[in-house]
Every structure is written in structure tokens, then in C-alpha cells.
Amino acid sequence: MAKIDVTTTQNVTIQYETAGFLWRFIAWLIDTSAISVFFFASIYLFFSFGSSIDSELKIAIFSAVFTIIKFSYSLLIEMFTNGQSIGKKIVGIVVIKLNGNALETSDYLIRWAYRMVDFGMSFFSVGTISILMSEKNQRLGDMIANTTVVKLKPDRIVTLDDLQNLPDKEDYVPKYPQVVRYNDEEMLALKNLLVRYQQFRNNTYNDILHTTVVKLKEQMGLEDIRMDDVSFLREIISEYVILTR
């Protein structure tokens, strides 16, 4: 599954795993089943307790009500549950904005309107191909609304609280006093790099990590320090927090 980073309005970066086609399809099946159960239960109740109404009128009224519910279900339930239909909630996925903002009514309306293109008129082909082929597993409606569907339980990449929770030391003697030349954003970037390196551990992140450490040592005049890159970055971050908090 693809992973995306979303920065909230509080400047907290959260990493989500996008919900691929299979997860979205399962959620759709559950939603369809829920609508079907409602349909048959309504038929039973309507025709059992509405004996005074003409049969043809019953059918006309019921058909109209059911059609409205069927086509408005996805729009209304996601609007009132912040991006989760019954199926999405059971599967554990949710609609989010890629820019980190809360979804607005216009976003729900765009996604709902394009369902006809994604799944209706194209017989599911446009939506299916879009989800399978797009980098962020977006159907056409998602692309227009700048949304996607992701799995819950995201990974928070880093915040200042993460740095401030590093252990404090009494009577601390600075080992790298030069670290105060940097700022919070730069330290967050270093912590983020550590998290990414430990998560993916590939050659690309290994090279970026090493290059960053070499540059830091040059800037701070610490070229003679003999320590592995990860340990050095951890000490630098811890030192910064202690000296600047």
C-alpha cells in the first residue's frame, strides 16, 4: 500500500497508509448489504402495516423513498460521520483531505457527484482503474476533491512533544554546545530523518543520513567524532532539547 504524509493545521506531520482497492471494495460490499437489509425490512413493514393504501401507490411511494435513500446514502452518512460510512467504519478506513484540513461540504458533494462517473456510468471501470493506478489510491472524485481514503491508526512522524519527552539530565555538562546554532524546525527535520531511516532502512535513506551527519559535523567542527550516524544524531537532538528548553 502507498503511504502519504499529511501535515495538519497544527504543523504535525502524520503518515497514513492509503486504503487500496480491496479495502474499499469490502467497505462497499458492507454498505450495499446494509442498504439491502434496510430495503427488505422496509418492504416487510410497509406492506404489512400499510394495508389501507393501494398496492400500486405503495410500490410507487416505496420505490421513490428507496431511490432517494440509495443515492443519497454515501453523501449523507459520510457528512454526518466525518468521512466514514458503515462499511468504512467496520473495515477501519476513512476519507481525509490531503492538505490536512477538515473535509467541507463541497468535498463530500464532489466525491458523491463523481460516483456516477467512477462507478455508475462506467460500470465501475473508471473508479477501479483510478484506485489501482493512482499513486495515492484515489478515484476520480478523490482527485477532484483533493481527498483519499486511508487506513486508521496513522503513524505520527514527529512533533516538538517528541523532542521534549527526551530524558532530562541534572547538572548536565554540554558535550555539543554548538548545537544551539540550529532551530526547532531543523531539529524536527533531523528527528524525522531518523524515524524514516529506522522505518525503511534502505540505501537511499542510509545515504541521506550519512550525508546529513557529515554536513553537521563540518558545520559544528566535530569531524574527529567517531560515532555511528544514528547515535550521533540522537545525541545532537537530545543535547539541543536540554540546552534550549
CA distance 215 to 143: 39
Count how many Cα atoms sit within 13 Å of the Cα of residue 144 in the half-sphere of its side chain: 16
Cell numbers at 68, concatenated: 432517494
pLDDT value at residue 168: 53
Question: Can you tell me the distance from the alpha carbon of 57 to that of 71, in angstroms, rounded to the nearest whole number?
Answer: 21
Within 8 A by CB and 6+ apart from 8, the residues are: 14, 100
Given phi > 0 = left and psi -120 to 50 = alpha, else beta, which region is 121? alpha
Q: Give the residue with greater pLDDT, 85 vs 11.
A: 85
pLDDT tens-digit series, residues 186-220: 888 888 888 888 777 778 778 888 999 999 989 88
pLDDT in tens, 132-183: 999 899 999 999 999 999 988 755 555 555 555 555 555 567 788 888 888 8
| C-alpha–C-alpha distance, residues 169 and 19, integer Å | 43
> What pLDDT score does 96 carry?
92
Residue 14 in contact with residue 8, Cβ under 8 Å? yes
Q: Does position 48 have pLDDT exceeding 80, yes or no?
A: no
* Residue in this structure with the C-alpha cell 431511490, named with its chain if needed: 67
Pairing of strands 147-151, 3-7: unpaired
Domain residue limits, the chain:
3-151, 160-244
Cell of 35: 442498504
In the block, cell 524525522 appears at 192
Q: Which residues contact 90 (CB under 8 A, 6 or more apart)?
A: 27, 30
The Cα 15–Cα 214 span in angstroms is 28
User: Any idea which of 3-7, 92-96, 124-128 has the lowest mean pLDDT?
Assistant: 3-7
Indicate whether 130 pLDDT > 90: yes
pLDDT in tens, 105-117: 999 999 999 999 9
Give the rounded percent of residues in the chain with a pLDDT score beyond 90. Answer: 29
Residue 241 and residue 168: Cα distance in Å, rounded?
Answer: 9
pLDDT for 7 beyond 80: no
User: Is the model's pLDDT at 97 over the cut of 80?
Assistant: yes
Grid cell 418492504 is found at 43
d(CA 121, CA 89): 27
Distance CA 146, CA 4 (A): 13
- What confidence score (pLDDT) does residue 154 get? 58
The average pLDDT across 116-141 equals 90
pLDDT at 24 (0 to 100): 94
**Separation of first and last alpha carbons in the chain:** 39
Q: What is the pLDDT of residue 162?
A: 56
What is the percentage of the chain residues whose pLDDT exceeds 70? 86
